[in-house]
Amino acid sequence: MLNVEKINVSIKGSHILHDISLNVEKGQIACLVGRNGAGKTTTIKSIIGIYKPDSGKIEFMGRDITGLPPHEIAKMGMGYVPEDLRIFPSLTVRENIEVSYLAAPSENRKRSLQEALEYVYSIFPVLKRYEGRKGTQISGGERRMLAIARALVSNPSMLLLDEPFEGLAPVIVPKLAESIRGLAEQDITILMSASNIYHVPKFVDSIYVVERGEIIYSGPLDGAFKDPQVMKVLSI
């Protein structure tokens, strides 16, 4: 589904990413793990087309997307939920979803508006309950769910979720994690990021530990806890 091969990325003259490589198969959940500033967000933004790699290759669904603009990559079926969420605080939950639906490319709309609403409400029932509330009137966890719902109305085959658990109340994290697992069970491939390895759901297929723009570990989550270098880097 997604193959990133030795990408290097520079921003304002600074070499940020060094030979980043990763692979996520269809329906899998992978997670980039690392401290703030390690390079997780830059990796995600490079995949979605916000940053253009200096070298290396990014393939999505068998197509080379290296250097393509974000809107072209989105049309191919890749959704993106940034850490800052970008919801409309003055609009209601329902209006936020409707705006995203109407803004989606016509070729990405596989459902009617009502069907799209019912679909995202089935994944996040709390959004149905609070559909008349404005973005400022729901919790941080609910705003995170709303941001993901907004991405889902474009029918992505893959979602990039930047720090989906950051700043959430501990009781909300497992609920959101289960919703993310439900998406993978529908064959939506997931690549997310986390600063805290303890926020990474145990059901992820693989993790990539990033430190100073390099991947220092790739493999199963439980293997990371047995790696002294990873434990030292993450200060665990």
The domain spans of the chain are 1-77+159-166+191-236, 79-156
Classify each residue of 166-177 as buried b or exposed e, where b means 16 or more C-beta atoms within 10 Å of its C-beta: bebeeebbeebb
Per the CB < 8 A criterion, the answer to whether 193 and 18 are in contact is: no
What does the DSSP 8-state code read for residue 136? G
The token duo for 27 is: 């329906």
Does 236 have pLDDT greater than 70?
Answer: no
CA distance readout (Å), 38 to 106, 138, 210, 214, 215: 37, 31, 6, 8, 10
Average pLDDT score over residue span 56-71 = 96
Q: What is the identity of the amino acid at 120?
A: V
Measured in degrees and rounded to the nearest 5, phi and psi for residue 19 equal 50, 50
Higher pLDDT, 183 or 85: 183
Smallest Cα–Cα separation from 38: which of 208, 231, 220, 226?
208
Task: Return the SS3 of 58.
Answer: strand
CA distance 158 to 1: 8
If pLDDT is split at 50, 70 and 90, which confidence band does 109 have? confident
For 156-201, the pLDDT digits (tens) are 999 999 999 998 888 889 999 999 999 999 999 999 999 999 999 9
Give domain 1-77+159-166+191-236's CATH architecture. 3-Layer(aba) Sandwich (3.40)
pTM for this one? Answer: 0.94
CA distance 199 to 193: 10
CA distance 56 to 119: 37
Containing 180, the helix (H) or strand (E) segment is helix 173-185
